[in-house]
Amino acid sequence: MPNATVPPTPPVPLSALLAREDLALRRIAGPDDPGTVVHWVHTSEMADPYPYLLGGELLLTAGVHIPEAAGSGTYFDDYVARIVAAGGAALGFGVAPVHDTVPRALVEACERYGLPLLEVPEQTTFSGVARAVWQLMAQARLAELRRVTEAQQSLASAASRPDPVASVLRQLAQRLGGRAVLYGPEGAEIARAGREPGQEVASALAELAGVVRPAHGEAASPPPSPSNRPHPTSATDTVSGTHLAAYALGAGRGFVLGVAAPGRAPGDHTIVSVAAVLLSLLTGEQQSGTGAARSSALVRLLLGAAPEDVAPLLGDGRRWVVVHARPDGEGVPDAVAAAALGAALGSALVDPVGDVVRVLVPADRAPDPLPGWTLGVSAAVAPEDWPAADTQAARALARARATRAPLLRHGPRPALADLVPPGEAAAHARTLLAPVTDRPALPETLRTWLSLHGSWDRTAVALSVHRNTVRQRIARCAALLETDLDDPDVRMELWFALRQI
């Protein structure tokens, strides 16, 4: 029998179709195998349906093609043999309108060839059978997607715990109902979780891991050439009824994820692939030493080391930029959003503080605008100038928010604000703006209005309000601040103060 070209939809157990009371289907021949599944439904009245089958079908027929003398020859044997040869899953025979009963010779032929034969009653249409199969497929797909989604969430949560590798393995083993093992570059078990398999299964899993583990210094997937074949990155096997799988983690580092499960359910491959990606990230950081280097750098800073002495742990000869980022709209970014921002900027050195996220980024990875964020970027500096760069990034972010720019970089020209100590500038701003800060809309409108050179229309568009609302708010600011907003000196002082809050 040729390999069936089955679709990517979930298969439907034939038993589930027989259990549908609204169809009233009845199996009258062939094996009662709970493992028999249907991938799709096809209706044909051809005497030889072989050319029109792909495999895995429930073939439906009303017997229009059956000649009158079929019972006395080999017609039914030939017909059933061709269905089996094409990979058909089962045959459904409608007893109306051509035949009152299923031909006895057809029943016997299906018994001989081991093809399940279903009697389709008169009240059940073939389109109704097909619709029932699609409904069962949709239910199976929904259940599979729900299971995969829940597994992805639990694996991601496990990766954020203090013992991420062990937590991911435990969660994976629980989801599969089996065993999960992380093998090191030398083949030793580094971590494991789940049910302990028998010796035969454990040995087979270790051997399978060796199949996908690249040799020392070899990439996991070298470019193919006429003289070499790509090294496999995954492999599967079945031993003593246990399904085994092994996945190479990363490129050439030698870590391998091995799993052993009682069977292979829909969605298992996707779940294991997610775990493999997470473990690739975790083991990659461990192997490269970046995680240990960052921890060491943090400890040294806390113990009093100078930034220029710590910076080589994070990369030799680098200059850095400090990025201050604030999400668009309301709300404070959580740890997940901050980590995602760091990943987008290419740095794991992330510090969420209130509604702003600070990221220390190598200067050769100068950031681009990111949807959903407003960014302020410092000049490229040496490690000893990190504090000054932090101040530059904060000011750049303030200017970006005031001008509605997605990203602003610190300019090389020194600013007037650099002449005033930040603490004194902030204290002056709080005192000057105290009358309006209890209503957030007022300082926000004043900042935007000043940045747009007093344009009522442009300010209204920027704030998505009516121009009369802008006029009322600016008039209210002038009254509360007891000042003349047409005076350029007043505007300059207010602009300076608004940049500090």
Mean pLDDT of all residues in 2-16:
71
Domain ranges in the chain are: 12-136, 160-219+233-288, 319-413, 418-498
**Does the fold of domain 418-498 match that of domain 160-219+233-288?**
no
Confidence category of residue 222, pLDDT binned at 50, 70, 90: very low
- Is residue 352 pLDDT above 70, yes or no? yes
Cα three-residue angle 53-57-58, rounded to 5 degrees? 125
pLDDT tens digit string along 174-219? 998 999 998 887 787 878 888 888 889 889 998 988 888 876 544 4
Flag the least confident range among 166-175, 238-247, 312-321: 312-321
Tell me which of 163 and 247 has the higher pLDDT: 247
**Residue % of the chain over a pLDDT of 70:** 86
Confidence category of residue 234, pLDDT binned at 50, 70, 90: confident
- Is residue 30 pLDDT above 80, yes or no? yes
CATH T-level topology, domain 12-136: 3.40.1390
Confidence category of residue 291, pLDDT binned at 50, 70, 90: low
Q: What is the pLDDT of residue 404?
A: 82
Structure tokens given for 229: 């074949």
- Is residue 7 pLDDT above 60, yes or no? no
> Residue 391 and residue 191: Cα distance in Å, rounded?
44
- Give me the chain's average pLDDT, please: 83
Q: What is the pLDDT of residue 63?
A: 93
Sequence-ordered list of residues with C-beta below 8 angstroms from that of 354, at least 6 positions apart, any chain: 332
Tokens 């997940």 identify what position? 336
CB 60 within 8 A of CB 116: no
Structure tokens given for 100: 């009152």
Scanning 249-334, the segments in alpha helix (DSSP H) are: 268-288, 290-302, 307-310
- Is residue 468 pLDDT above 90, yes or no? yes
Confidence category of residue 471, pLDDT binned at 50, 70, 90: very high
Q: What is the pLDDT of residue 286?
A: 46
* CATH match of 160-219+233-288 with 3.30.450.30: yes
Q: What is the pLDDT of residue 251?
A: 52
- Choose the CATH number for 418-498 among 1.10.10.2840, 3.40.30.10, 3.30.300.130, 1.10.260.30: 1.10.10.2840
Number of C-alpha atoms within 13 angstroms, CB side, residue 421? 3
> Residue 51 and residue 53: Cα distance in Å, rounded?
6
Tell me which of 165 and 252 has the higher pLDDT: 165
Q: What is the pLDDT of residue 227?
A: 46
- Is residue 338 pLDDT above 70, yes or no? yes
**β-bridge mates for residue 60, sequence order:** 43, 92
- Is residue 439 pLDDT above 50, yes or no? yes
- Is residue 147 pLDDT above 70, yes or no? yes
Confidence category of residue 281, pLDDT binned at 50, 70, 90: confident
The model's pTM: 0.48
* CATH match of 319-413 with 3.40.50: no
